[in-house]
Amino acid sequence: MDWGASVSWMRDWISNADNVVFLVISLVIVAAAIRVVSSPNVVHAALMLVLALAGAAGLFLMLGAEFVAWTLVLVYIGAVIVLFLFGIMITRAPTGRDPVRLDHARRWPAAVVALGTFVTIATVTTMAFGDRPVEAAVSRSGELGDVLFSRYVIPFEAVSFVLLAALIGGIVIARKDPDR
């Protein structure tokens, strides 16, 4: 692709309102995700995860996955982040100790591994699927509910069983042992 065609392709891409919204949301997501893995404050990292997940919910709304978006908001932002904040509160080192460092000293090998993963995945998926269009936002939550309770009812029940097992397992693991 020569330079002029590339410029005109980018002008076409940015003149679409959906693409502008996507660009803004994805910039917010990436910035928040970088803060999650680099923030020296543990609570700030958890709150930045809220921002990244809210951006992901916005992308799901753009793609017409309304039910998934609001499930993400309810389950993650409503419940999982509260669980993380409780975990941070419980496992924070007691005051009076030396402040422990949150990161390893060797960051460059991790950065190289992450960069290699990104280049591999992005190259392979982009080469395989190219610029095929995706369907714009048409929300059909009713159809999703129908198919969830007809075609996917056995996986649905299995997942609910997994949730029940995780609930009981969490209680059993985190409980104080009464024998000691």
Partner 1 sequence: MTISQFLVLGALLFSIGIYGVLVRRNAVLVLLSVELMLTAVNINLVAFGSYISDTLRSGQVFALFVITVAAAEVGIGLAIVVLVFRNRSSANVDELDLLRW
Interacting positions 36-65 with partner 1 (CB under 8 A): 36-37, 42, 45-46, 49, 52-53, 56, 59-60, 62-65
Distance CA 91, CA 85 (A): 10
Examine residue 14 and tell whether it contacts partner 1 (CB under 8 A). Answer: no
Interacting positions 115-144 with partner 1 (CB under 8 A): 115, 117-118, 121-122, 125-126, 129-136, 140, 143-144
Question: Closest distance between partner 1 and the C-beta of residue 63, in Å?
Answer: 4
End-to-end CA distance of the chain: 71
Residue 101 phi/psi, 5-degree rounding, is -80, 145
Examine residue 75 and tell whether it contacts partner 1 (CB under 8 A). Answer: yes
Task: State whether residue 97 is helix, strand or coil.
Answer: strand
Examine residue 170 and tell whether it contacts partner 1 (CB under 8 A). Answer: yes
Task: Name 88's Cβ contacts closer than 8 Å, sequence gap at least 6.
Answer: 42, 43, 46
Q: How many chain residues bind partner 1 (CB under 8 A)?
A: 86
